[in-house]
Amino acid sequence: MTDPGELQGPPTAPATIRRVTVIGCGLIGTSVALALRRVGIRVELTDDDPRSLLGAVRMGAGLALSSGGPPADVVVIATPPSTVAGVLHAAQARELGQVYTDVASTKARILTEAESIGCDLTSYVPGHPMAGRELSGPGAAHADLFAGRQWPLCPHPAMSPQAMRTVAGLVTACGGEVALLAADAHDRIAAAVSHAPHVVAAALAATFAGADPATLSLVGKGLWDVTRVAGGSPDLWCDILHQNAEPVAELLDAVARDIAGIATALRVSGPVEKVTELLVRGNEGRGLIVGAHPAGAARGGRIAA
């Protein structure tokens, strides 16, 4: 498989973006800042937590935001989903930028909230880089976190085309691939590929809370992989899940029903078809996932069987 990045050459800064302000110096905000700095864009940073701000500054992600400067070309809001609309409103009131975007994992509720509290929506382009790590904080950030990754942007009626062009330029400058999706569609897809899987992995990992040494001695690569994303921050993920409640709940109900159905089928030693049927559907879904993620398919992993 050819890495798309190899064909494109290294990212460059678009002419329209010379100064960016990043609000929120966690993993994603700091990684955006590092990626932008690498292509020569001037970045200013701010965070309510002075330790995060200092951490990001020390990593070379930019300088602390100074008051009274000219508005940035783009303001990137990299705070938890439930805070984005409020942060956007405050930033617009301070005239921090000409164009605004965010990186939260949910989109529809933020957009509704931003409208209802009176944000200027013409300059706001909702966004979501599909990248992350199971580590958090500025120390886990790196400039190539978004290389070749999908980065949905969610057009909405009030948005100016110029704002969209500018933010698309920022995505490309970070090495990401722009994908255009309505906010509702984004949230349904994010529930399927990320939010519901997070809960499922956490519920499985939770069966190991307090596990005894004998059990842990037989842990293998299979369990390691299935539970990997369960290492994410509980507070951030709780916020994400509540912001995308309905699409996530719908999927979780389906998964819980299937799992409980297998437990019942095993208990009654019922017909094997019930169990096989789920495993066959699992094979089918897995086949599509593998086909959709060729980089993954190329890795020949081993599992504990």
Residue list 245-304, contact with a second copy (CB under 8 A): 245-246, 248-260, 262-264, 266-267, 269, 272, 275-276, 278-293, 295-296, 300-304
- Which lies closer to a second copy via its Cβ, residue 157 or residue 267? 267
Contact with a second copy (CB under 8 A) among 121, 131, 141, 164: 131
245-267 and 196-206 helices cross at what angle (nearest 10)? 40
What's the closest the beta carbon of residue 172 comes to a second copy, in angstroms? Answer: 17
Beta bridge partners of 21: 44, 75
Cα separation, 49 vs 183, in Å, equals 29
Rounded (5°) CA angle 223-206-200 = 70
Residue list 41-70, contact with a second copy (CB under 8 A): none
Options 6-14, 90-98, 118-126, 193-201: segment touching a second copy (CB under 8 A) = 193-201
Q: Is 180 in the site for a second copy (CB under 8 A)?
A: no
CB 101 within 8 A of CB 73: no
What's the closest the beta carbon of residue 283 comes to a second copy, in angstroms? Answer: 6
- Which lies closer to a second copy via its Cβ, residue 40 or residue 231? 231
- Which lies closer to a second copy via its Cβ, residue 63 or residue 256? 256
Dihedral sign (CA 295, 296, 297, 302): positive
Contact with a second copy (CB under 8 A) among 13, 22, 25, 28: 28
Terminal C-alpha separation, the chain: 28
Look up tokens 């969610």; give the residue.
Answer: 154
Cα separation, 175 vs 151, in Å, equals 10
Residue list 203-232, contact with a second copy (CB under 8 A): 203-211, 214-232
- Which lies closer to a second copy via its Cβ, residue 63 or residue 266? 266
Helix (H) or strand (E) holding 19, with range, is: strand 19-23
